Amino acid sequence: MTLPSGDEVWALTKHEDIRAMLTDPRFSSNRQNPNFPLLLTGRRRITNFRASLISMDPPEHGPARREVVGEFTVKRMAALQPRIQQIVDEHIDAILAGPKPADLVQALSLPVPSLVICELLGVPYADHEFFQSRSSRLLRRTTPAEERQACVEELRGYLRDLLERKENEPGDDLLTRQLAKSDDREEVVALGFLLLIAGHETTANMISLGAMTLLEHPDQLAELRADPSKTPSAVEELLRYFTIAEFATSRVAVEDVEIGGVTIHRGEGVVGLANTANRDPEVFDHADDLDLGRGARNHVAFGFGAHQCLGQNLARMELQIVFDTLFRRIPGLRLATPVDELPFKDDANIYGLYELPVTW
């Protein structure tokens, strides 16, 4: 396929082929490689970019991931549950006390994951407008290269100052702990940058799209309300159905590799179309239908292999708590704007909604 930049790359569409690529060390995640497929218009490469986890290959990737993986275990995430529940409840209190219609994106989808990742990292939530505006501009495909570069520099500068403060006044947070383990502050800046962006834009969009979809499928929503033990499975199906990080699973071949009977040559870029893989009829029956009970655990919405999403336990828990609490506490919730008039993020690398007006 041809990218907006004019570059020609391979596109993998099958579930099996994407999983094969994502577990094959002959494909690199190095986003600085000039042949790595980026879905941006115009000049695209950001310079002076210190590699973070998502861009690393072996032998660097494994040890770097092991340094931080302990922060995201199921057990660690379970300990966060009461605090996430409290954050969700406070935001729903505010929605109920506020005017109708409410924009669910601003009132719930963005602030919940943003507050959670800020507390986890030790980033002051009071600065959320600063980093949310930069990260949303970075994720838009149409943002000019100069502006993208400026956003990266500003965010990195912000994190550098924050880490300097933490060196003098350590906190009980992820960034302080990483700083203590590492003798290289720039490495922690790169990790903080990745987690700050990955930690809220993704989950936020899934909250909005999930809430919209559940409201559009009242029969399935009623079943979920009647039995909240079905929520974990429903969340997997919503993740499959939308696959918001559709292009995150791209790579560049560093050797010749045969996939699906085709030879991909060294240096060629490959886009793994995770959304298409998640609708592969060989893996999912009636793949275009939403079926909250299907148990879609084998989806690739969080990727697959060594780079599989580090924050997936956190994302799952946030989504489960949000959907359970939202529909329990606001039983009369409904869309205030028809779906076909909603502003979808067709121009962003992480799919979602810019606004979701709801009433009750």
Report the nearest approach of ligand HEM to the CB of residue 194 (Å). 5
Report the nearest approach of ligand HEM to the CB of residue 274 (Å). 6
Concatenating the DSSP letter of every residue in 280-307 gives -TTTSTTTTS--TTS--TT--TT--GGG
303 binds ligand HEM, rule: CB under 6 A: yes
Dihedral over Cα of 190, 193, 198, 199: its sign = positive
Report the nearest approach of ligand HEM to the CB of residue 280 (Å). 16
Which one of the spans 87-95, 158-166, 168-176, 299-307 is the region binding ligand HEM (CB under 6 A)? 299-307
Q: Provide the pairing of β-strand 10-12 with 269-272.
A: parallel
Which one of the spans 6-14, 129-137, 304-312, 328-336 is the region binding ligand HEM (CB under 6 A)? 304-312
Binding mask 312-351 for ligand HEM (x = CB under 6 A): --xx------------------------------------
Cα–Cα distance between 289 and 291 in angstroms, integer? Answer: 6
Range 131-170, binding ligand HEM (CB under 6 A): none
Binding mask 231-270 for ligand HEM (x = CB under 6 A): -------------xx--xx---------------------
Q: With contact defined as beta carbons under 8 Å apart, do 345 and 354 qualify?
A: yes
CA proximity to 10, closest of 357, 271, 360: 271
Residue 58 or 98: the one with the smaller Cβ distance to ligand HEM is 58
Which one of the spans 43-51, 87-95, 190-198, 286-294 is the region binding ligand HEM (CB under 6 A)? 190-198
Q: With contact defined as beta carbons under 8 Å apart, do 168 and 65 qualify?
A: no
311 binds ligand HEM, rule: CB under 6 A: yes
CA proximity to 223, closest of 175, 130, 290: 290
Tokens of 193: 């940058």
Report the nearest approach of ligand HEM to the CB of residue 340 (Å). 24
Which one of the spans 9-17, 35-43, 162-170, 200-208 is the region binding ligand HEM (CB under 6 A)? 200-208
Q: Residue 282, Cβ neighbours under 10 Å: how many?
A: 9
Concatenating the DSSP letter of every residue in 124-181 gives -GGGHHHHHHHHHHHHBTTS-HHHHHHHHHHHHHHHHHHHHHHHHS--SSHHHHHHHH
Residue 109 or 202: the one with the smaller Cβ distance to ligand HEM is 202
Q: With contact defined as beta carbons under 8 Å apart, do 217 and 290 qualify?
A: yes
Q: With contact defined as beta carbons under 8 Å apart, do 294 and 284 qualify?
A: yes
Residue 123 or 244: the one with the smaller Cβ distance to ligand HEM is 244
Choose which of 132, 202, 275, 325 interacts with ligand HEM (CB under 6 A).
202
- Tell me how far CA of residue 73 lies from CA of 58, 70, 95, 182, 317, in angstroms: 22, 6, 32, 21, 12
37 binds ligand HEM, rule: CB under 6 A: no
178 binds ligand HEM, rule: CB under 6 A: no
**What is the contact surface with ligand HEM in residues (CB under 6 A)?**
29, 53-54, 65, 117, 194-195, 198-199, 202-203, 206, 244-245, 248-249, 301-303, 307, 309-311, 314-315
